[in-house]
Amino acid sequence: MSSRPTVLIVGAGLGGLSLAIILERADIPYKIFERSPAIKPLGSALSLGANIIPFFKQIGIYDEFIQEAAVRYTTQVYGENCGLDFMFDSRPAAEMGGHDGYIISRPAIYDILCKRIPAHKIYLSKRVLKAKQDEKEVVITCADGSFYYGHIIVGADGTYSGVRQSIYREMKLQGRLPKGDDDQQRLPYNCTCLVGQTRPLDSKEFPELDMPESSFDCVLSSDKPYTWITFTTKSNTICWMVVHHLDKISFKTNDSFRNSEWGHEAAASMCNDVRDLPIPSGGRGISRTLGTLMEHTDMNLISKVTLEEKIFETWFDGRIVLLGDACHKMNPAGGQGALNAMQDAITLANWINVLKSNDVNDIKRIFQEYKNERYPHVMDAFGSSRMFSRIIAKVNDAKEKER
């Protein structure tokens, strides 16, 4: 092609950044638009393994990733008295997949990816209000009055995607929107989540930091609607997460609570509710609670969110396409959300790279191929994430009934 398509990426999450890195290497022009004044790695950490590490090798970040990541072999599951109930060992899966599993903090992986993208191609404080298209081009309009033209828009802007809202609005007016995608703002959920990551800690006070692998502990309560998890990182921090399992009454009551951001504003009251929950110390006889970790955590690194679950039927329209949470929001209990966003980016970039022209019909064809390739894998990941979240909730419920 004498002219490669210009790609406008809305959202600088892990999916958007991964897509940009591949387009950079393929010499396909692009720009990233992020509504925040800085690229903020919200959440605590990621568990990654054989299903994404080959990509890290291909883009040249594997060695840096290994330096920042802690290997994870086991998951310890405890009762609320911090007695060990059972343990998962991931080494057989690692042997089969060819790579160990790793835990890496979100700030670390964001930093590694961002360094591969020229700074002048990332536009910060750009909240996209509209995404429009015609037969020849696309244009996005930002809240500051600026606008940008290209050939393709990629909505990588999260659960309540503004890009998705733009194309769904037009499709609905034209009577083309599938019924299941109509109520896009009311996403179902049955739990909320509080996450945080401590500052670097002293291993004398927290000896689990000296372990050669990540200490990954999960506690199932016997009489509370909570599951809580802690795990160590190579940065000498401890990531922690509390899942609040909602009953049907709470689901209805909390419907108005739905929030679309990983933000810390809503976290304070839940911190007070769960700070006395005990956390295990790997049999070291140390008595600690989540409050201990909260005291070592900066408030801007604590977030509370609702855990929506939905796969949208419509992934693209014309020159506009979605990836990651914008088209499939998974419960994070299975650790599949960020991973699938990056896998979306790989597949989408490969199809953009084989475009024969900037004709809208060619673009729609490769977008359909992208969805055809990714949809079965997304459905599998969605099912496993939902199953894992339900297992945790049912175990909690069974323990409460036994009590």
- Tens-place pLDDT, residues 67-113: 999 999 888 888 888 888 888 888 888 888 888 999 998 889 999 99
Model's pTM, two decimal places?
Answer: 0.88
Phi, psi angles (nearest 5°) of residue 11: 115, 125
Specify the pLDDT at position 45. Answer: 86
Specify the pLDDT at position 232. Answer: 93
Segment 310-352, tens digit of pLDDT:
899 999 999 999 999 999 988 765 568 899 999 999 999 999 9
Sequence-distant (≥ 6) Cβ neighbours of residue 74 within 8 angstroms: 87, 88, 89, 90, 213, 216
Sequence-distant (≥ 6) Cβ neighbours of residue 63 within 8 angstroms: none
**What is the Cβ-side half-sphere exposure of residue 147, based on CA atoms within 13 angstroms?**
12
Rg (CA), the chain: 22
Q: How many residues does the chain have?
A: 403
Q: Reduced to 3 states, what is the DSSP secondary structure of residue 369?
A: helix
232 in Cβ contact with 209 (< 8 Å): yes
Q: Reduced to 3 states, what is the DSSP secondary structure of residue 190?
A: strand
At 340, list the tokens.
């699938």
> To the nearest whole percent, how much of the chain has pLDDT over 70?
86
Specify the pLDDT at position 397. Answer: 52
The string of DSSP letters for 115-169 reads TTS-GGGEE-S--EEEEEE-SS-EEEEETTS-EEEESEEEE---TT-HHHHHHHH
Which amino acid is present at 8? Answer: L
Q: Which of 185, 183, 182 is closest to 162 using CA atoms?
A: 185
At 252, list the tokens.
């209805």
291 in Cβ contact with 275 (< 8 Å): yes
Looking at residue 179, what DSSP letter applies?
Answer: G
Segment 19-64, tens digit of pLDDT:
999 999 999 999 999 999 988 776 778 889 999 999 999 999 999 9
Which amino acid is present at 116? Answer: R
Specify the pLDDT at position 354. Answer: 94
Q: Write down all domains in the chain, each with its CATH number in brackets.
A: 7-39+124-176+310-392 (3.50.50.60), 189-308 (no CATH)
Q: Could you give the CA distance from residue 308 to residue 248 in angstroms, rounded to a whole number? A: 15
Residue with tokens 């990733």: 65
